[in-house]
Every structure is written in C-alpha cells, then in structure tokens.
Amino acid sequence: MNLSSDQQIRAWFGGAKRILMVTGAGFSTGSGISDYRSPGGIWERYQPVPIQKFFVSHEARMRYWQYKVETREEFAGAAPNAAHRSLVELQSDGRLLGVLTQNVDGLHQKAGISEERVIEFHGSNARVGCLDCGEEAGWDHALKQWESENRPPTCHACGGWLKPRTISFGQEIPISWMERASQWARSCDFCVVVGTSLSVAPASEYPRLAHQMGARVLILNRTPISGVQWADRIVFGEAEERLPRWIRDSVSGPD
C-alpha cells in the first residue's frame, strides 16, 4: 500500500516506542522567540561573544550583556506553543525517551516535560551565575547592577563576572550530558529533528548516530538543510503546525 507523506509519518509515530526529539530555534519561533541563523535572526542582529573574549574584554562583556538585556523580555514573556505541548502527549503515553535541545528558553520544561528528560546543550537563559565561584544570582540582581551602574554585573559573593547559565562559544559542555545523549541516540527507535539546521555540534551528531544504530530519522524544518541525505524523510514547515497533528493522530487516530 502506498502511503502519503503524512500517513507514513503518522505510522512512524504510531509504531515508535522510544522517541528521541532533537529541537532547535525553529521549535520556539511560534512562541515569539527569534531564531539564530535565518535572515533577521539573532546572529544577524548580534554577534556572538566567545567565552574567551568575555573574560578579557570589557567591550565584549558590555556587548554580551546588551544583547542579553535586550532579548530578556522576549524570553521571559514566552509561553510554550502547540509543538511544545504535543511532546507532553508523548511523555504521558510513555514513548518520549528524551529531548535534546539547542534552545535556552526552558519552554520544554514549562510545557510539562520533566527535567530528567531534557538536555539543554546550550544551557539555560533562566538563571544567572558567577563564572568564578559558581554562586547563583537572580536576574533581578544582575539587571539592577546593569541599569544602575551601566556595567556588566558582578557576583555579590566574590566579585566575579556574572553570566546567564547559557553555554557560550568556547565553553565546555558537561561530559555527562553528552554521555546521556549518546545513550538516548543509541537506544531510540525514532529520532525526530525539529527546527534546527544541524550545523552545530554536539547536538548535530546524535540524529546521525541514531540513524547508524537503526532508528528512523525524520527532519522537520522551515528551510532546506544540507548534508542530511541519510535522513528517512525531510519535511518543510512550521513546528507548531505539523508536529502536533502528527502526534495527535498517532495517539488517537486521524480525524
């Protein structure tokens, strides 16, 4: 029997027992958060600041905090969209193995995905901490310093530089995160990649590992991606439109 693309994808979702989600910026654009690499995205408006420059350059720290302050409202006011909520259905159904995300917005957890099922490869924008002593410092403390003294905020405990708990270029990703991600990729039977160009390691490595281990791989993205001919299916579209329908139909059957 010849199945349409949507029918085939629903069948893959319906038959999968261990689903690994890999999500990127395109997963959260429906929540009002700008993506990074598309025209008009964050990296077109702000140049990333590597961690090495953050440590040694006052100008780089000022530029970094200017970007964080200007995008803070966008992140703080964002709510999970239909794509985020649809993953909760997979979790409730006992079929969500885990979520590997490049997003720092925390929307997967806000939607109801448990912390132990989410690996935030690029860290979290929800918290601020000291790069020297590790002390947590709330956004309120950091913003008060920035606004009243017009300088990058420092730790109240040791005076070290404060920075959101995101992973900047040059910062190391904990080995334990990569080990758990590798375990998920090796044991999943269906890997679904949504809203990412798969151009940044290490998150980009796990869908291919899943494929090599025998899992089906589906990619859903707004724009074309190069170098992924090994994927079983590539679909172009918006995460919040396509994904909830596929998941809903795989759980309850099509309307």
Residue 180 belongs to some domain of the structure:
yes
Distance CA 30, CA 243 (A): 12
**Which of 141, 166, 191 lies at the terminal end of a domain, its last residue?**
166
Residue 9 belongs to some domain of the structure:
yes
| Same-domain status, 220 and 134 | no
Q: Is the pLDDT of residue 233 over 60?
A: yes
Confidence of residue 38 (pLDDT cuts 50, 70, 90): low
**Which of 166, 189, 221 lies at the terminal end of a domain, its last residue?**
166
| Same-domain status, 186 and 112 | yes
> Residue 255, Cβ neighbours under 10 Å: how many?
6
| Same-domain status, 117 and 209 | yes
Compare 53 and 76 and report the one with higher pLDDT.
53
Compare 45 and 29 and report the one with higher pLDDT.
29
For the chain, what is the domain count?
2
pLDDT of res. 45: 65
Q: Is the pLDDT of residue 211 over 70?
A: yes
pLDDT of res. 48: 84
- pLDDT > 70 in the chain, percent: 92
pLDDT of res. 1: 40
| Same-domain status, 200 and 229 | yes
CATH (domain of 51): 3.30.1600.10
Q: Are 21 and 194 in contact (CB under 8 A)?
A: yes
Q: How many CA atoms lie within 13 A of 161 on its CB side?
A: 19
Q: Tell me the whole-structure pTM to 2 decimals.
A: 0.89
Place of tokens 């708990």: 165
pLDDT of res. 41: 54
| Same-domain status, 52 and 98 | no
Both structure tokens of 255: 């309307």
pLDDT digits (tens, 9 = 90+) for 91-139: 999 999 999 999 999 999 999 999 999 999 999 998 899 999 999 988 9
Residue 211 annotated as catalytic: no
| Same-domain status, 148 and 226 | no
| Same-domain status, 212 and 253 | yes
| Same-domain status, 70 and 182 | no
pLDDT of res. 37: 55
Range of the domain at 73: 43-77+127-166
Average pLDDT, the chain: 90
| Same-domain status, 239 and 143 | no
| Same-domain status, 231 and 118 | yes
* Given the residues 58, 84, 108, 122, the one annotated as active site: 122
CB within 8 Å of 126: residues ≥ 6 apart: 106, 165
Both structure tokens of 253: 């059957």
